[in-house]
Amino acid sequence: MELLQAIHNKARLQPDKLVFISPAKQITYGELWQKSDQVAAFILAQNLKKQSPILIYGHMEPEMLISFLGSVKAGHPYIPVDTSIPLERVEKIITNSNTELLINVSGLPLPIDHSSIRMVNLEEMSKQESRTIDSSNWVKGHDNFYIIYTSGSTGNPKGVQISAANLQSFVDWMVEDFPIKGGLRFLNQAPFSFDLSVMNLYPCLVSGGTLIAMTKEMVAKPKHLFEGLEKSETQVWTSTPSFVQMCLMDPSFKSQLLPKLSVFLFCGEILPVSVCRQLRERFPEATIFNTYGPTEATVAVTFLEITDEVLEEYQTLPIGAPKSDTQIILLDEENEPVSEGEKGEMIIVGPSVSKGYLGQPELTNKAFFTYNGQQAYRTGDAGLNQNGLLFYKGRLDFQIKLHGYRMELEEIEYHIAKSKYVKSAVVVPIYQDDKIEYLSVLIIPAEHPFEKDYQLTGAIKKELGLVLPAYMIPRKFSYHKELPITPNGKVDRKQIREQVLL
Ligand code: AMP
């Protein structure tokens, strides 16, 4: 059934059931439906350009959900922007997306200088007379439903356009192939500006469940996080492996804390065998799924249940097989399919693949194409197929995952090199076992007034804090007279990595 219609049905059948619980506030299905109609009525009264995106700024307030649904009911896609994103980056998103309306639900001031956009808060919207919004206004088919911005190698974030049809394919698969039906309680840990959050949000809403917010304030303090978890009565857990690994450091993270937990869904980075072994011991009743996919193909496209047999058999866990409406082909450097057991670039083909990056035809043409009449995406991930199971074999470029966050090393380098104190910079990921622990940057400094390196580092970090989210700022800074260069004149990353490791 069509996604918004399915949510509407739940709102009709169970108007008093809680749909979203955040530390400060909770709302029911009835309230979500009625208040999002009010937001949609407000948006329709603004006479915006047809299908122009609406930026929604906040963290995990129930009003985020209300505004998401309000936008799509009024026929406009939304761009979720978390409060952890620095203002300059928010401005870049506004410029790239040509947003005309920004809904600020955060309660925080947003000092942005953009004369072309209208900024509203909840109070203003609540003056709007409420009315039922006819479904003919709703976003549908290939129209954009949401746009999520991810790190871009050119120094600017890029907006991945996800249509109603893309999202429908993803949600249908989730509800069909995972044991998450029947009004369960879903944990929401990822901020809404990351597509991992979509893995709970819409499967939860269409199946009539309740979403429990774990805010960044809770996650920052283990005591609050564990109190929140205990109260949450979570049944469906969705997170990056990094987040669950952090929870596992506390011995009280076990079934006594979350006795109703029945499913773990992981996505976004390599799922280590050791994590699954610990989860099997501490939550013997729960099933574990490894899923794989990029934002560009709507959250995830492959899956595998990690049973004890799988854990026995593999030292590196497979990412499984694609969902039934999707194909993954592996191509070599000449764009020829590789044979079984050989490595190739994973190309995702199917109905959940995005139409491309908003307003970026060149980037879109590089990564997206049509294959046998279907939309296809070059992931930049290496993969290998063995006995019908796919294995993830690392990246083919400079995109990395650090603590579950996706980023392009080139974007970080671009911003560091823009500093007036810097001539050039190379960012290197530092690994422990197979996992990136932190980022180190090697800098050739320009002239600067500082006596000590730590003062220079402080000044550069301050500049970076204005343009990059905290998780993208390298932990370690070092200064050099020169950096090694390859014979063809490029920075020699391999040699640098070896130097850094010494
Ligand atoms: P994002 O767009 O943030 O979801 O990041 C997508 C990237 O995360 C993919 O292209 C992979 O490089 C990586 N990734 C996602 N899921 C997995 C997984 N299960 N195992 C290994 N890497 C993954």
Q: Tens digits of per-residue pLDDT, 146-203?
A: 999 999 988 899 999 999 999 999 999 999 999 999 999 999 999 999 999 999 999 9
Q: How confident is the model at residue 314 (pLDDT cuts 50, 70, 90)?
A: very high
Q: What is the pLDDT of residue 265?
A: 98
Distance CA 117, CA 95 (A): 10
Query: Which among 317, 357, 401 is the best mutation to test ligand 1's pocket, defined by most ligand atoms within 8 Å of the CB?
Result: 401
The mean pLDDT of 204-226, rounded to a whole number, is 96
The mean pLDDT of 388-394, rounded to a whole number, is 95
CA 157 to chain centre: 13
Distance CA 300, CA 198 (A): 10
Instruction: Give the residue carrying structure tokens 């369960």.
Output: 184
Please state, as a whole number, how many other Cβ atoms lie within 10 Å of the Cβ of residue 127. Answer: 8
Q: Note the CATH number of domain 399-501.
A: 3.30.300.30
The mean pLDDT of 300-317, rounded to a whole number, is 97
Going from the C-alpha of 330 to that of each of 101, 391, 432, the distances in angstroms are: 41, 11, 29
Q: How confident is the model at residue 501 (pLDDT cuts 50, 70, 90)?
A: low
Q: How confident is the model at residue 1 (pLDDT cuts 50, 70, 90)?
A: confident
In three-state secondary structure terms, 6 is helix
The mean pLDDT of 101-120, rounded to a whole number, is 91
Q: Are 33 and 8 in contact (CB under 8 A)?
A: yes
Q: Show the ligand 1 pocket: residues with CB < 6 angstroms.
A: 150, 195, 267-271, 290, 292, 294-295, 319, 379, 381, 392, 395, 401, 406
Q: Note the CATH number of domain 321-395.
A: 2.30.38.10
For helices 164-177 and 3-13, angle between their N-to-C axes, nearest 10 degrees: 60
Distance CA 297, CA 384 (A): 19
Distance CA 187, CA 219 (A): 13
How far does the centroid of ligand 1 lie from the alpha carbon of residue 268, in Å? 4
Q: What is the largest CA-CA distance in the chain?
A: 68
- Dihedral of the alpha carbons of 26, 31, 36, 42, in degrees to the nearest 10: -110
Beta-bridged to residue 212, according to DSSP, are 21, 187
Q: What is the pLDDT of residue 126?
A: 87
By C-alpha distance, which of 365, 328, 355 is closest to 344? 328
By C-alpha distance, which of 402, 398, 475, 490 is closest to 152? 398
Query: Which among 199, 240, 269 is the best mutation to test ligand 1's pocket, defined by most ligand atoms within 8 Å of the CB?
Result: 269
Instruction: Return the CATH architecture of domain 3-313.
Output: 3-Layer(aba) Sandwich (3.40)
Angular region, 219: left φ>0, alpha ψ -120 to 50, beta rest: alpha
Percent of the chain surpassing pLDDT 70: 100
Q: If residue 165 lies in a helix (H) or strand (E), which one and from where to where?
A: helix 164-177
pLDDT in tens, 250-275: 999 999 999 999 999 999 999 999 99
Task: With a cut of 90, say whether residue 497 has pLDDT above it.
Answer: no
pLDDT in tens, 420-441: 999 999 999 999 888 899 999 9
Task: With a cut of 70, say whether residue 502 has pLDDT above it.
Answer: no
Q: What is the pLDDT of residue 153?
A: 87
Q: Are 350 and 339 in contact (CB under 8 A)?
A: no
pLDDT in tens, 44-55: 999 999 999 999
Beta-bridged to residue 146, according to DSSP, are 78, 162
Mean pLDDT, all residues of the chain = 95
Q: Are 444 and 481 in contact (CB under 8 A)?
A: yes
- Written as one letter, the residue type at 410 is E
Which amino acid residue places its CA nearest to atom 22 of ligand 1? Answer: 269
Which amino acid residue places its CA nearest to atom 23 of ligand 1? Answer: 269
Task: With a cut of 70, say whether residue 32 has pLDDT above it.
Answer: yes
| Residues of the chain by 3-state class (helix, strand, coil), percent to 5 | 35, 30, 40
Distance CA 236, CA 408 (A): 31
Task: With a cut of 80, say whether residue 487 has pLDDT above it.
Answer: no
Instruction: Give the residue carrying structure tokens 């905290």.
Output: 470
Take residue 315 and report the two structure tokens written for it: 């030292």
The dihedral built from the CA positions of residue 185, 189, 192 and 196, taken in this order, carries a sign that is negative
The mean pLDDT of 115-143, rounded to a whole number, is 92
Q: How confident is the model at residue 448 (pLDDT cuts 50, 70, 90)?
A: very high
How far does the centroid of ligand 1 lie from the alpha carbon of residue 392, in Å? 9
Take residue 153 and report the two structure tokens written for it: 């190698």
Pairing of strands 422-432, 435-445: antiparallel
Domain regions of the chain by residue span: 3-313, 321-395, 399-501
Distance CA 315, CA 272 (A): 9
Which amino acid residue places its CA nearest to atom 6 of ligand 1? Answer: 294
Q: Are 465 and 459 in contact (CB under 8 A)?
A: no
Q: Where are the beta strands (DSSP E) in 281-421?
A: 287-292, 302-305, 321-322, 327-331, 343-349, 356-357, 368-371, 374-386, 389-395, 399-402, 405-408
Q: What is the pLDDT of residue 288?
A: 98
Q: For residue 160, give the ligand 1 atom closest to its CA.
A: 2
Take residue 431 and report the two structure tokens written for it: 């690994």
The dihedral built from the CA positions of residue 378, 380, 381 and 385, taken in this order, carries a sign that is positive
The mean pLDDT of 301-318, rounded to a whole number, is 97
Which amino acid residue places its CA nearest to atom 10 of ligand 1? Answer: 294
Q: Are 18 and 31 in contact (CB under 8 A)?
A: no
Q: Are 219 and 212 in contact (CB under 8 A)?
A: no
Task: With a cut of 70, say whether residue 286 has pLDDT above it.
Answer: yes
